[in-house]
A and B are shown apart, each in its own frame.
Chain A
Amino acid sequence: MMTSSTNSVAAASMAVNASRARRSVLNRKLVLTLVAWTIALMMFFPIFWMFLTSFKTEAEAISTPPSLFFTPSIDGYIEIQARADYFKYALNSVVISLGATLLALLIAIPSAYSMAFLPTKRTQTTLLWMLSTKMLPSVGVLLPVYLIFRDLGLLDSRTGLIIIYMLMNLPIVVWMLYTFFKDIPKDILEAGRMDGASTLQEIFHLLLPLTLPGIASTGLLCVILSWNEAFWSLNLTTSNAAPLTAYIASFSSPEGLFWAKLSAASTLAVAPILIFGWMTQKQMVRGLTFGAVK
């Protein structure tokens, strides 16, 4: 009798504890959700506002207080298309981003392979040095690069931008691939060698299939970084090879800022990469956390 009552008391207190624990977990979840939404909204709001503004008239765009409700018009879009051919710039952006990404992967895969599987005592230093080049302000090398490009006839050419974007992204790509390759057990490649695989076969039959998620996310990141790059495109192109970043910049004209048109141009410029990023975000996250949990 005695024991059964103490048991039931104990059970009751356990139940109270359990529900308290559950409530605190719930509270934490609520707070986290709120914080996450706040940050997400803060980050997304400018893009959302730009999107709204692009459908306003120039007068509405600069009105104070800003008008939230208005009759949307696509005049801005029509006008900017009349001034500059969006599709030419977009095509340049696509060709240059993809080209730079493919070229970077082509060079980075063998480099990362040798660093990951045939390391020397200088490998770590080389990796750090490569990454350190990213710390250098681009403007510091603008003049030499500009002169070299002028002498080689690469100014305002897609080839030139592909090369410069590739160089710009190479350290990150090599670094990322290196970490992905490092996670592949050496035994598997050795087994491949015992089975008669040459180095190239090892890479194509074993290494690349095994690290595909990682390579894909590296490629995606590289595309996005190339797409968003503005410094080099503004300085090295004028019209022929100008990508979308140059297209946006061309609307900040000396006649004054036309917010609606600028917003329309910007919306058009970021839309493809935004949709692309949204579609591939699962792949990106999977690739970036690849190997982290096994």
Chain B
Amino acid sequence: MSTLTLKNIVKEFTSGSGASASTTQVIKGVDLEVKDQEFVVFVGPSGCGKSTLMRMIAGLENATSGDILIDGQRINDVGPAERGLAMVFQSYALYPHMTVGENMGFSLKLAGVSKEERAKKVNAAADVLQLGPLLDRKPKALSGGQRQRVAIGRAIVRNPSIFLFDEPLSNLDAALRVQMRIELARLHAELKATMIYVTHDQIEAMTMADKIVVLQGGVVEQIGSPMELYHHPRNRFVAGFIGSPKMNFLDVTVTDVQAEGVTVRLPDDSESLVRVAGQPEAGSAVSVGDRLTMGVRPEHLILDDSGPLGGQVQVIERLGGVTSLYLASPDGSGDGKIGGLKADDQADSGWILIADGDVASRVGDNIRYTFDSARAHLFTSDGLALPSLDRHPLTGLTRQDNSLSSVSAAQATDV
């Protein structure tokens, strides 16, 4: 139904006046292409500009420069309502003095739609969201999950070409969040609409997105499918941001660069071949003797008594199925720092290892471990990833491949 294109979007806020005026750029030239019926998720740390970007798409904020196009039409100067978008706010922003039905029908009322027509559309949307019995209640008398559904219903009634969600699940408890996540995915399939979703929760991003846009400091760090970001992060920020617990980092030295990969020296003087190209996407090739940062995800570390890395267990979190071991860093420099708890992802912070649920290690034990070199990442000193020589087989997966509805749809077309 609808595509969205952002061309070199810049947003500046000016503070002060006259000669002392200072300009802060919060969005620094964002380009983005959203395809029809795509589910795009903006993620990033707080203050990265993801909400501002969405508000500019919604029309609640003006872009300082750049073009916003819907279906190829420039809409920078079109009012929010005329853009054919609907937005679900983090606070739900329901009208407290109106019933659920009135809330959902408000846009139609403003548009001058007749009462009968309005009731029909509101009822249809209420059916989709199982809100039928609540139509006469005021928002005050609803639970958090119900309010959330009303907010979504209010968006559905407008039959928008693009849905915008601004951290819609952050006020719900964990169980409800899981339920709403699945419900939103179902809605997306049912409504066949383009959806843009802002969140800082990477589980939401990974599970719902066709395409994730990782933002930091007003700059797009990477755009790609969830599996692509996980397996092939373009830089160290994305590598550290996607995945939980965070990726572990370690300083290493290059000892050999060959066609089949880069060999690096680990702290215990052993060497390891990582299958990555010797040159980042942009920038100069690495050479022997260069200092690189190696990144390995906690789930790709393997306990091994003769492994090249070692460290003292400082905290153990047993979740039953898996156990997280927080370790002093492998080169010993992170002594006293507990893995993954440092705010900046410095290489000298401790490591985290995800082991089997039945692992018998205790706090204070010195353990040794190894890693799957096929799953290791190397980053240059300016944070760029050396591209992997092997594409991960799942990077091409789309979100539809993960849900039954598409399978049954495929079967239906087969018949």
A residues sitting closer than 8 Å to B (CB atoms) are: 121, 185, 187-188, 190-197, 201, 205-206, 209-210
A195 in contact with B81 (CB, 8 Å): yes
B95 in contact with A206 (CB, 8 Å): yes
**Is B97 part of the binding interface, using a Cβ–Cβ cutoff of 8 Å?**
yes
A187 in contact with B89 (CB, 8 Å): yes
B97 in contact with A209 (CB, 8 Å): yes
Report Cα–Cα, A194/B96, bound state, in Å.
Answer: 17
B80 in contact with A193 (CB, 8 Å): yes
Show 30 A/B contacts (Cβ-Cβ < 8 Å), sorted by A: A185-B91, A187-B91, A187-B93, A188-B95, A190-B87, A190-B89, A191-B87, A191-B89, A191-B94, A191-B154, A192-B95, A193-B79, A194-B58, A194-B59, A194-B60, A194-B81, A194-B85, A194-B87, A195-B81, A195-B106, A195-B110, A196-B81, A196-B107, A196-B110, A196-B111, A197-B110, A205-B110, A206-B95, A210-B95, A210-B97
B91 — nearest CB in chain A belongs to which residue? A187
Q: State which of B80, B97, B111 has its C-beta within 8 Å of the C-beta of A194.
A: B80
Report Cα–Cα, A188/B79, bound state, in Å.
Answer: 17
Report Cα–Cα, A209/B90, bound state, in Å.
Answer: 23
Q: State which of B60, B91, B158 has its C-beta within 8 Å of the C-beta of A195.
A: B158
Q: State which of A187, A188, A193, A210 has its C-beta within 8 Å of the C-beta of B81.
A: A193
B110 in contact with A190 (CB, 8 Å): no
Report Cα–Cα, A195/B103, bound state, in Å.
Answer: 10
A186 — nearest CB in chain B belongs to which residue? B93
B residues sitting closer than 8 Å to A (CB atoms) are: 17, 58-60, 79-82, 85-87, 89-91, 93-97, 106-107, 110-111, 154, 158
Report Cα–Cα, A201/B109, bound state, in Å.
Answer: 11
Interface of A is mostly: helix
**Closest 7 CB pairs between A and B?**
A196-B81, A187-B93, A195-B107, A191-B93, A196-B110, A209-B97, A187-B89
B110 in contact with A201 (CB, 8 Å): yes
Knowing A196-B81, A197-B110, A205-B106, say if A191 contacts B95 (CB, 8 Å): yes
B93 in contact with A188 (CB, 8 Å): yes
Contact residues in A for B110 (Cβ distance below 8 Å): 195-197, 201, 205
Contact residues in A for B87 (Cβ distance below 8 Å): 190-191, 194
Report Cα–Cα, A196/B60, bound state, in Å.
Answer: 12
Report Cα–Cα, A192/B110, bound state, in Å.
Answer: 10
Report Cα–Cα, A192/B96, bound state, in Å.
Answer: 12
CB distance from A1 to the nearest CB of B (A): 44
Report Cα–Cα, A109/B334, bound state, in Å.
Answer: 61
CB distance from B191 to the nearest CB of A (A): 17
Knowing A121-B17, A201-B110, say if A190 contacts B93 (CB, 8 Å): yes
Report Cα–Cα, A192/B95, bound state, in Å.
Answer: 9
Contact residues in B for A197 (Cβ distance below 8 Å): 81, 110
